[in-house]
Amino acid sequence: MREPVALLSVRPRFAEALLNGSKTVEIRRRKAHIADGAICLVYASSPVRALVGAVSVRATDTDLPEALWGRWGAYTGLQRREYDDYLKGSVKACAIVVSDAVSFPRPVDLSELRRRHGNFVTPQSYRFLGAGELTSLLNGEAAHLARLADAGQSARI
């Protein structure tokens, strides 16, 4: 598996859309320093509060919000008003373009994540996981990531 792996915190509605393929671009208010081809674990925030799957990042694109909307708006799962409200005040924004996704058959809830790794902290946006942390958090779910690692860069867009 490629290192480093990022943990991406996403609202449940968008986590589900990323994993079922109806959303292929995740928008962030700041540049995401995630490498092309990286794997991101998807953490669905409250009220779900669980690790629900993973995505493979095809690329990131940082630009003015208006320019990003022109390129990626149709793939964000957002209405234009939601997009503008979310990015209000941002000079530049970032589109994380997803090429593949996998859902975990059983989400790993926050209490289990903390049991597996005592210092587990959910990110506000995203953070990178250390190898030891990744191993303890996945504890059996790692097999599901093999499909992402093998998928290469086959885009769904």
- Is there a contact between 24 and 75 (Cβ–Cβ < 8 Å)? yes
Three-point CA angle 88, 54, 66, nearest 5°: 25
User: What is the rounded average pLDDT of the residues 18-47?
Assistant: 96
pLDDT in tens, 37-49: 999 999 999 999 9
> Which pLDDT score is estimated for 10?
97
Exposed/middle/buried for residue 53 (C-beta within 10 Å: 0-12, 13-18, 19+): buried
To which H or E segment does residue 95 belong? strand 93-109
The CATH number assigned to the domain with range 5-149 reads 2.30.130.30
Between CA 102 and CA 18 the distance in angstroms is: 9
pLDDT in tens, 60-83: 999 999 999 999 999 999 999 999
pLDDT in tens, 91-148: 999 999 999 999 999 999 999 999 999 889 999 999 999 878 888 888 766 666 766 7
- Is there a contact between 56 and 145 (Cβ–Cβ < 8 Å)? no
> Which pLDDT score is estimated for 148?
72
> Which pLDDT score is estimated for 3?
55
